[in-house]
Structure 1
Amino acid sequence: MLILVSLGTAFLVELVPGDPAVAVVGAEGTPEQYAAAREALGLDRPWFVRYFDWIGGLLRGDLGRTLVPPVQDVASLIASRLPVTLEIAVLSVALALAISVPAGTWSAYRYGRAFDRVASGISFGLISIPSFLLALILIYLAVFTPESVTVLIVAVSVTAAVGLAWAARRNNASSTARARRNRILAAIGVLAVGAVLVLVMPDFPRQGFVRIGEGGLGENLRTVALPVLVLGLAESAQLTRVLRSDMSTTLKDDFVLASRAQGMPTRHILLKEALRPSTFSLVTVAGISFGRLLGGTVIVETIFRLPGMGTLIVESVARKEFMVLQAAVLTVAALYVLVNALVDISYLYLDPRTRHVRV
């Protein structure tokens, strides 16, 4: 797979219009100067010859150097861009899972009821909103009108707490005293979380990225908060729909019905019985989402001025930096293959039946 990716990249970059020699010599150069620059850069040779030379250097651990000034090692260039993309991708998928697992689980349990309808509506809305539009909305709310975020947090917290308190006071024969007490505690917890968010809400920057070694962990997280929120919300909507669909089917299986007949509590049924066999599609889609984010979300990176792999790949195409482009695409492909391998391995844990396969 990696060989095919690298070979296809080398062939496709040859079709991109433009000449790196123009960027090296300048727009006012003579044909002789352009020819000399191409010869010095090795651009006068066929693309497949350059490709095999690059593969030979790759096997020796040498990714080459950039063609267009300022000349620098491709490995160091990727090493400076890759951590940015990895951090954004990991935090975005973690946030998406933190939202989608409880939301999808409870939506499946309350299938067709108020919570499920609200969660489904929000999910469909997030799926329909393009990432660049969501980014601009969050920038407007969090950067230019931060007081609106405070009002929104207070409104959501109070509404959720009132809803939980009202549900606890309902005269429902199926509601036990313990269930009503849990709803009241949940309402208090929602109010507490809302108060904490209002008190610790930082000032979000419009653009830029601060590395951990430059400004510390707190400053780093402050600069990536909005991009992670944009990507995490977009991915959580899809993951919530996937988990809701699978878990609603699992809850109808015989072993779950048997647990209910034995009087098992709802928390045990959802977390111990139904969740693990319902996460196959969730893990698969989460792995695909993580691999897609590793390639860089160019629009989000451009809006927030993040020096990630997405902008590096686009810049390399525009400047016809085939050394940088091949190395960057191959790095993303290698990480994508690794993530898919880890997803396949996770199936062994999720379903013990897959550990023993007869040939």
Structure 2
Amino acid sequence: MIHRVASVLLRIVPVLILVSVGTAILTELVPGDPAVAVVGAEATPEQYAAVRESLGLDRSWFARYFDWLGGLLHGDLGRTLVPPVQDVATLIASRLPVTLEIAVLSVLLALAIAVPVGTWSAYRYGQVFDRVASGVSFAVISLPSFLLALIMIYFAVFRPEWVKVALLAACSVAVLVLVGATLGSRGARVTANSRRTIRLFALGVAVAGIALAVILPDFPRQGFARIGDTGLAENLRTVLLPVLVLGVAEGAQLTRLLRSDMATTLNDDFVLSARARGMPLRHILIKEALRPSTFSLVTVAGISFGRLLGGTVIVETIFRLPGMGTLIVDSVAKKEFMVLQAAVLVVAALYVLVNALVDISYLYLDPRTRHVRV
């Protein structure tokens, strides 16, 4: 197992080298001149030439890349070319926590939605709860992220009273659908212990909905508050809407994926055997069926997390978030070689690391993979 983990981690190095070389080549192909951003569009050709020489832009991309690589090996990511001049490491350090926080919270929210909803939809496959959950998931998936963001801004910022009423109504409907679908036509197959669990879950949903409706804060239209400057509560208030936009969209896709995989797993022989032995519903769903159904879920969640680390430019622009996405786009527009190279490398390193952790997680999810030679 140690050999498998080490081999997975060693794959990160060549990937990062290829990413850095590819970024340097693609940056060279992007039209534009940083000298124009430095001295303005009205400067003379001689001034442009002097700026290019002072910044080292008159050298080949190959030479500039190896200079950057040498600095990277010494822990120096360079300085920005366009004023205000600052260390690239400082610039990324101010942007990366924003993207990391939003990505982590969005994926956690997506999993918090997908696991219970996808699990119960698979168990009640084709019935009321499954049809409602599938319809809502399809509707969310078909909405573009910018449209979902604008809808949430309209209701959460400008019509918060509507949100509270809708939240209470949705919780009431969810509880009625959940209890009715469970204790209805197939109630005879649900044990008394399972019915008690379902009632407690329904009660928890109702209490959570009422609590959210009561304590729902006023959301800002745009901006980001850092924890060190304003505290955790204000920080969460500013990131909640972007997290909801991204988390709900990702959660809808993960719900569909888990529902499909788990519906197949519930018909496997070992699950049918557990049912025949009279195992409680909670044990069958969580202990028997959920774990072997999470391979695709974990894989796609890791990919989604890596994609969010690259920054969702549209959402960041709508909410005016100083994240990595807008930093990379601005760097491309200004042809900031140092910033773009470092930003892409950091995102790629985190992305590859996350996917390596996903590969390692397979060793826990399926013990049979521990004996596979790579």
TM-score interval, normalised by the smaller of the two chains: over 0.9
How far has the Cα of 1:167 moved from its partner? 5.5
Q: Which residue of 1 aligns with 2:157?
A: 143
Name stretches of at least 5 consecutive residues in structure 1 with no aligned partner: none
Residue in 2 that maps onto 1:128: 142
Question: Deviation at 1:251?
Answer: 0.8
Aligned CA distance change for structure 1 residues 168 and 79 (closer, same or farther; 3 Å): closer
Cross-structure match for 1:309:
324
CA distance in 1, matches of 2:299, 2:178: 34
* TM-score between the two structures when normalised by the length of structure 2: 0.92
CA, structure 1 residues 170+354, in 2 after alignment: closer, same or farther (shift >3 Å)? closer
- Equivalent residue for 2:351? 336
The residue number in structure 2 matching 1:99 is 113
- Identical amino acids, percent of aligned pairs: 78
Residue of structure 1 aligned with 2:41, choices 2, 27, 32 = 27
Q: Which position in structure 2 is the counterpart of 1:62?
A: 76
SS of the aligned residue for 1:275 comes to helix
Find the counterpart in structure 2 of residue 295 from structure 1.
310
The residue type equivalent to 2:22 in the other structure is G
Question: Pick from 239, 242, 246: which aligns with 2:254?
Answer: 239
CA contact (8 A) 1:291 1:336 kept: yes
**Residues 245, 39 of structure 1: CA spacing in aligned structure 2 closer, same or farther, 3 A cutoff?**
same
Residue of 219, 231, 243 corresponding to 1:204: 219
| Counterpart position of 1:38 | 52
- Do residues 49 (structure 1) and 63 (structure 2) align? yes
Q: Which moved more, 1:20-29 or 1:70-79?
A: 20-29
* Structure 2 residue ranges without an equivalent (≥5): 1-14
Q: Distance in 1 between matches of 2:221 and 2:300?
A: 31
What amino acid does structure 2 have at the position aligned with 1:320?
K
Q: 1:178: Cα distance to partner?
A: 4.6
Alpha-carbon distance in structure 1 between the residues aligned to 2:124 and 2:69: 55
* Superposed displacement of residue 337, structure 1: 0.8
User: 1:111 aligned to 2:125?
Assistant: yes
Alpha-carbon spacing, 1:185–1:279, altered in 2? closer, same or farther (3 Å): closer
Query: Shift of the alpha carbon at 1:82?
Result: 0.3
Say if 1:277 and 1:350, in contact at 8 Å, map to a contact too: yes
How many pairs are equivalent?
359
| CA deviation vs aligned residue, 1:82-127 (integer Å, no higher than 9, x gap) | 0000000000000000000011111111111111111111111111
CA distance, structure 1, for counterparts of residue 155 and residue 184 of structure 2: 36
**Given the alignment, which residue of 274, 280, 286 partners 2:301?**
286
> Per-residue displacement from partner, 1:205-244 (whole Å, max 9, x unpaired)?
0000000000000000000000000000010011111111
Q: Structure 1: how far apart are the matches of 2:316 and 2:177? A: 38
* TM-score of the pair, normalised by structure 1: 0.96
Cα deviation, 1:164-206, whole Å, max 9, x if unaligned, reads 5656875854455555544444443333222111111000100
Alpha-carbon distance in structure 1 between the residues aligned to 2:371 and 2:292:
17
RMSD: 1.6
Residue 323 of structure 1 deviates from its aligned partner by: 0.6
With over 3 angstroms needed to count, the CA separation of the structure-2 counterparts of 1:322 and 1:162, relative to structure 1, is same
